[in-house]
Amino acid sequence: MERKSGIDTFGLVSLTGFALLLSINQVAIKLGNTGMQPVFLAGLRSLGAVCVLLVWMRLRGVPFRIRPGTVPSGVLLGLLFSIEFCCLFFALDWTTVGRASILFYTMPVWLGFAAHFLLEGERLTLLKLAGQALAVLGVAIAVLDRGDMGEASLLGDMLALCAAFCWAGIALVARGMPISQTRPEMQLFWQLAISAPILLLIAPWFGPLIRDWQPYHFGLLAYQIVCVASLGFLFWFWLLTVYPASTVVSFSFLSPTLSVILGWALLGEELRSSILLSLVLVCAGIILINRPGKDRPR
């Protein structure tokens, strides 16, 4: 498909659908944790996803090539990916889907702060600073409101934030280190191939690997492997090659919104006014952060 200068119907449907996939993924992780220990589940997901990725690359004729000088940054990607999903899976074990999603999808906020100092041409404008302020205020409201203590722990909220920090770190490595010169498939390979053995090896330290395994847990794991961790992200990378990056990234505000709705509809999570306010502030901040400046093309 040829490069587009703006969003069209296909792009709108695709980006909305991908946001929905990610939102369902939060629910799938929380339900999957009832059958398997979180770190073990995350490790199985990475292991399955790297297998799917390699098969896809072979069928599509994508060359498997490790460029000289990219190994250290590739390993760093994998380490950050391991920490990110160790934190996120435990966060969804200890807090609600709505809370975890709002905090996790603040990644553009922390990426914006870091990029201002570390990446050339990524200075924070007044508009972006306003977006950062709104999102940080939303985070503060979500963390400080402990009205649903029976459903959410402060530790769970902090782990979701830590996962967001690691996600921002992955973005920085992928943009500012030699690994940025490799294909998206290889970047994803490093994340999955490094995280799978790490997570599976450390999983026994966090308790029994199996909790209450039921047949439907296999379906939840398969969904995470195929629809999200491998083919889903490859589809997202492809969308970045067709539509403007700012447009693609701006759709990230849909994921926490849909996650809050799904947590309420499927898991019976309480829609507290403070959580809804936090969601609005974070989404508004993400939108402002991703708006192109006057000197940048849309």
- The pLDDT tens digits of the residues spanning 212-231 come to 999 999 999 999 999 999 99
By three-state DSSP, how is residue 210 classified?
Answer: strand
What pLDDT score does 147 carry?
64
Per-residue pLDDT at 11: 87
pLDDT of residue 48 exceeding 50, the answer is yes
298 falls in which pLDDT band (50, 70, 90)? very low
CA distance 173 to 181: 11
pLDDT at 293: 58
Average pLDDT of span 250-272: 87
Can you tell me the mean pLDDT for 237-258? 79
Output the pLDDT for position 246: 65
Distance, CA of 297 to CA of 28 (rounded, Å): 37
Task: Return the closest-CA partner of residue 251 out of 23, 91, 3, 1.
Answer: 23
Distance between CA atoms of residues 249 and 77, nearest Å = 20
List residues bridging with 175 in a β-sheet.
Answer: none
Helices (H), the chain: 9-32, 38-60, 71-94, 97-104, 107-118, 126-144, 154-176, 184-202, 215-222, 231-242, 245-250, 254-267, 273-289
**Predicted confidence (pLDDT) at residue 297 exceeds the cutoff of 60:** no
pLDDT at 185: 92
Q: Tens digit of pLDDT for each residue in 230-240?
A: 999 888 888 87
High-pLDDT (> 70) share of the chain, %? 94
- Dist. CA 237–CA 256, nearest whole Å: 20
36 φ, ψ (degrees, to nearest 5)? -135, 155
pLDDT band at 1; cut points 50, 70, 90: low
pLDDT of residue 18 exceeding 60: yes
- Please determine, for residue 244, whether its predicted confidence score (pLDDT) is greater than 80: no
Half-sphere exposure of 241 (CA within 13 A, CB side): 10
Whether residue 207 has pLDDT greater than 80 = yes
**What sign does the dihedral 137-140-146-149 (CA atoms) show?**
positive
Specify the pLDDT at position 91: 95
User: Considering only CA atoms, which of 188, 146, 167, 111 is closest in space to residue 278?
Assistant: 146
Average pLDDT of the residues in 101-126: 84
State how far Cα 184 lies from the chain centre: 16
Q: Per-residue pLDDT tens for 64-95?
A: 999 999 999 999 999 999 999 999 999 999 99
CB 263 within 8 A of CB 31: no
Comparing 288 with 200, which gets the higher pLDDT?
A: 200
pLDDT score, position 151: 65
pLDDT category of residue 206 using cuts at 50, 70 and 90:
very high
Q: Cα(first)–Cα(last) distance of the chain, in Å?
A: 19
pLDDT of res. 148: 54
Contact criterion met (CB below 8 Å) for 201 and 147: no
Q: Is the pTM of this model over 0.85?
A: yes
Return d(Cα 24, Cα 101) in angstroms, integer. Answer: 11
Residue 296 has pLDDT above 70, yes or no: no
Structural tokens at position 168: 């921002």
